[in-house]
Structure 1
Amino acid sequence: MKIADLFSVAGKVVVITGGSRGIGEMIARAYVENGAKVYITARNAAVCDGLAAELSKSGECISIPADLSKMDEIERFATALEARESKIDVLFNNAGASWGAPFDSFPESGWDKIVDLNVKSLFFFTQRLVKLLEAAGSVDDFARVINIGSIDGMHVSNIETYSYAASKAAVLHLTKMMAKNLASRHIAVNAIAPGYFPSKMTAAIPEEWAAASVAATPMKRIGNPADMAGVALYLGSKASGFVCGSVIAVDGGYATTV
């Protein structure tokens, strides 16, 4: 098989949560520019609509803003999507947030908000869209669910982001549980565990810690859009046809060597 056929995502219908900025934007841009029909969703309607308009200059990108931390918003998004599509080939669960505070003063609100969005919403959003995924999958070409975790779910961070780290560890294990149980429905579930990529979330990291993490990374740099695009396209294409329940760290070697 030719490499163009192995890695092609042309014609696929793709949904990306948290798709208006950061890693979500990197993934959306990669899929739109390679011929997929992409739906992005995020809480900030203006930003979401703006990116969709920009990306539509080079392909097809539709914005359906929603606050996926709320069950009724998950339902509203799904209903709007079902009015447009009869199947989904690839779902990226990327929406997430973080919260940092010292152990002794870490608030309940900083726990509930992060765990609910990063774990609960991911599960119920996928549950709500599973019929559309099932409609796309076949024995020869499974539909894909790709959960965006974090290396903070694989190693112990120096930053006190307790609920975030716990939530991302949960996402990585949940990925394996979903993979085991959805494969019979021709849906392959995998996860990406990003390291340090430029985003609104990582912008809050203290400069000295960011510099130290780069210094400790074997590849001595942070991630860039091409790094994320490559693994995202791989997991949504025939090239990953026998990959199921895997977690791919995209971090320059940081989490597995420090």
Structure 2
Amino acid sequence: MADLTVPNLFNVKGKTVLVTGGGVGVGKMIASGFARNGANVYIAARKEKQLKEATEELKKIASGGSVDYIVANVASKAGCDALIAEFKKRSSTLHVLVNNSGITWGGPYENFPEDKGWDNVFAVNVKSVFYMTAGLTDYLTKSASPTDPSRVINISSTASVDPQSEGALSDAGNGTWSYQASKASVNHLTSQLAVKLAPSYVTVNAILPGVFPSKMTAFGLREAADTINAGQPMGRVGTPSDMAGLSLFLASPASAHITGQHIIIDGGARLFKSKM
């Protein structure tokens, strides 16, 4: 019988992990979980100062692995290609790709901007998921096997299944019209990539976070904390351990037979809202 102990089932030690948008927020939470458990972690984002600070913090909690950063902008195919090329200079393998980079834009329904509101949001939130995964498939498949597959984890949002675009997380009179649509696209792209990559022994799953502390939710948590907390049936928003725990599961032997899934992590808030 296979080793069913927790240290074996949830082992990610020695795995090489790349997290886009890994300098802050959810991406940093995920990177922290991998660093603390012995993985070799690369974080990528646009702002070098944030990356340097995050890297130093991650190194302090790292347990046997390494931590490094790459400055990159995944808002275009060229930017994704540049990140991929730089990563391949530094590492000869990749076991886990976390497509976390994401942006949002709030604006009025009657005058929602095309470039910043739609084009840039879809470029970062959707196109980068495809180009990063396609560009790193050769690395992901190098050492993958049916019992030890490589992993792609796409960070979506509960906004992908919630059609409300105007609420506490955006300013009065504004809505995040493109964000919800972009994250719904991430969900379906996750399913498409799961079908494509399963024969190559790569699993592809999506995490759909509810409210977690991040740059994206900072406005809402600052301006409408009471309203947001009132909608949390567990009495709190998400924490780093919540996000790290699910990410580690999706990258560990325990989830080797799971692919094409869209996993909501919101403390039941979506179900609670449906009762209101």
Give the TM-score of the pair, scaled to structure 1. Answer: 0.96
Q: How many residues align?
A: 258
| In the alignment, structure 1 residue 81 sits paired with structure 2 residue 87 | yes
2: CA distance, partners of 1:178 / 1:170: 12
Per the alignment, residue 143 of structure 1 pairs with 150
Work out the percentage of aligned pairs sharing the same amino acid: 42
| In the alignment, structure 1 residue 115 sits paired with structure 2 residue 122 | yes
Amino acid at match of 2:18: V
Amino acid at match of 2:215: K
1:66-112 per-residue CA deviation (whole Å, 9 max, x = no partner) reads 01113222222211211222221111000000011121111102111
- TM-aligned CA deviation for residue 210 of structure 1: 4.2
| In the alignment, structure 1 residue 176 sits paired with structure 2 residue 169 | no
Map 1:23-102 to 2 at 5 A. Answer: 23-59=26-62, 60-102=66-108
Per the alignment, residue 7 of structure 1 pairs with 10
2: CA distance, partners of 1:208 / 1:19: 25
| In the alignment, structure 1 residue 233 sits paired with structure 2 residue 248 | yes
1: CA distance, partners of 2:271 / 2:153: 21
- TM-aligned CA deviation for residue 206 of structure 1: 6.5
1:143-187 per-residue CA deviation (whole Å, 9 max, x = no partner) reads 000000000001123432011010001101111111111101110
- Structure 1: gaps spanning 5 or more residues: none
| In the alignment, structure 1 residue 131 sits paired with structure 2 residue 138 | yes
CA 1:206 to 1:54, structure 2 compared with 1: closer, same or farther past 3 Å? closer
RMSD across aligned positions (CA): 1.4
1:173-207 per-residue CA deviation (whole Å, 9 max, x = no partner) reads 11111111110111000010000000111012275
2: CA distance, partners of 1:23 / 1:144: 18
| In the alignment, structure 1 residue 18 sits paired with structure 2 residue 33 | no
Amino acid at match of 1:54: E
Amino acid at match of 2:97: L
Runs of 4+ that moved beyond 6 A: none
Per the alignment, residue 269 of structure 2 pairs with 254
Per the alignment, residue 159 of structure 2 pairs with 152
Give the TM-score of the pair, scaled to structure 2. Answer: 0.90
Note if contact 2:76-2:123 (Cα within 8 Å) is conserved in structure 1.
Answer: no
2: CA distance, partners of 1:178 / 1:71: 17
- TM-aligned CA deviation for residue 209 of structure 1: 4.5
Note if contact 2:17-2:96 (Cα within 8 Å) is conserved in structure 1.
Answer: yes
- Structure 2: gaps spanning 5 or more residues: 168-174
